[in-house]
Structure 1
Amino acid sequence: MSKNILVVGASSGIGYAIAQNLLEKGYSVISASRNNPNIEGVEHLTWDATNPDANVFANLPVALAGVVYCPGTINLKPINRLTLDDFRQDFQINVVGAVSVIQAVLPRLKKAEGASIVLYSTVAAKIGMGFHASVAASKGALEGLTISLAAELSPAKIRVNCIAPSLTDTPLAQNLLSTPEKKEASNKRHPLGRVGLPADIAEISTFLISDASSWITGQVIGVDGGMGSIKGV
């Protein structure tokens, strides 16, 4: 019997790639997002991180082997132009939304007798980047949530890990990669010479969901072309 995985935010970008990757590897995938990803074989639930409704998950399978929470924000402004509502929205989507999903499906994760939760931070939570105050603050909180939940849920054999990508070529990053010049400049900022692709993140996400990573929990893993740890030559 295939394992049931809930992918929140599967309608585009990284979440879409993850849902496809999991499906190809034989998992049973349920999508939850505002828009239907329209992936054949994927059951879809309409859910919005800005107004989370736990009742949406009431009819999920009894046992859930994993949750992948992909919703995110890129709200880049100088601190004097960031409003309190900007901060509230980033925390709502990145942190509160994740908490609401985990709380709603936790009994089902416990029934799996070995489940995995995968969350997403950003390289900007580790290294200082101008104009990233709001997103870095909320994603930094998500890293703290990851480590705390990994400790709390370890007796239930539920693993919790976080992936911290750098700039990835998704619809969310469209404005940052909108011209060949912008894309080339972004490529050059990464030691490996390119921005990320959804497939890069999908592969490690699937690994963290799988039993192959059964001894990995409480980790924040940089998948960032080297930006977070090395300086290019």
Structure 2
Amino acid sequence: MRNIVVIGGSKGIGSAVLLQQLETNKVYNISRSAPDLSHPNLTHYGLDILQDDLPDIENIDALIYCPGSINLKPIARLSVDDFRNDFEINVIGAVKAIQKYLPALKNGNEPSIVLFSTVAVKLGMPFHASIATAKAGIEGLVKSLGAELASFVRINAIAPTITETSLAASILRNDRMKENMVERHPMKSYLKPDEVAGMVDFLISEKAKSISGQIFEMDYGLVTFKM
């Protein structure tokens, strides 16, 4: 049984990650709200990643940072605070968690870190200036730390397309919008949280022990194919 720390495991992709890991691993969840379940393998810490001190956890084999934001506005309507807030939750929170738990990770069993980017970093999508800028920071962090920690800890990121979570509810709020999103993707679908959780499970496993510093696009062909 491995020790997995999930930041933001109460909702969306984080919740799917937490559920997938609970049956076989000890999971420590850190989020403002508690997950809607109890389990003997689950320990929850209720706190704000940006405002509060993180708890001491001695033994860690994997760290998964899930918090994110979808702040879609034209550049003229984006304030400096919008950029600052998106950078704080997406990048600074991840840095804070990595700095806190890196000593424990270095002593872990095949230790690894998984962060989250977005397809908007590479694709170039209107109204995504703030979130794409923040997530580009995540990709730079993964590349840099992948090299710096190469002999100790693996680190990778997943760059998903739109995923059916509460965070994306305004974009997928009715059947017509969902159909339009399906048609926009060459492979005629978009992501469900369980699919992303499956990639996380692979990246923290021994099967991925040769992989670090990589960004994995889960895009249903949106970035990869021109149709």
* TM-score, normalised relative to structure 2: 0.96
| Superposition deviation, residue 47 in structure 1 | 2.5
1:50 & 1:174 partners in 2: Cα distance?
Answer: 24
Find the counterpart in structure 2 of residue 30 from structure 1: 28
What letter matches 1:172 in structure 2?
A: L
* Candidates 174, 180, 194, aligned match of 2:175: 180
Query: 1:1-31: CA deviations, max 9, x gaps?
Result: x11000111011100000111113x111110
Find the counterpart in structure 1 of residue 20 from structure 2: 21
2:176 & 2:62 partners in 1: Cα distance?
Answer: 39
Matches within 5 A, 1:18-167: 18-24=17-23, 26-41=24-39, 42-51=42-51, 53-54=52-53, 56-58=54-56, 60=57, 62-156=58-152, 158-167=153-162
Segments of 5+ residues of structure 1 without an aligned counterpart are: none
| Superposition deviation, residue 165 in structure 1 | 0.1
| Superposition deviation, residue 39 in structure 1 | 2.9
DSSP 3-state at the match of 2:135: helix
**Deviates most, 38-47 or 68-77:** 38-47
Q: Does structure 1 residue 200 correspond to structure 2 residue 195?
A: yes
DSSP 3-state at the match of 1:202: helix
| Superposition deviation, residue 38 in structure 1 | 3.2
Query: 1:52-102: CA deviations, max 9, x gaps?
Result: x33x322x1x22000000000000000000000000000000000000000
1:219 & 1:77 partners in 2: Cα distance?
Answer: 29
More helix as a share of residues = 1
Query: 1:131-167: CA deviations, max 9, x gaps?
Result: 00000000001000011111111122x0000000000
DSSP 3-state at the match of 2:171: helix
Find the counterpart in structure 1 of residue 165 from structure 2: 170
| Superposition deviation, residue 113 in structure 1 | 4.8
RMSD value, Cα: 1.0
CA contact (8 A) 1:63 1:110 kept: no
What letter matches 1:178 in structure 2?
A: R
* TM-score, normalised relative to structure 1: 0.94
2:87 & 2:118 partners in 1: Cα distance?
Answer: 14
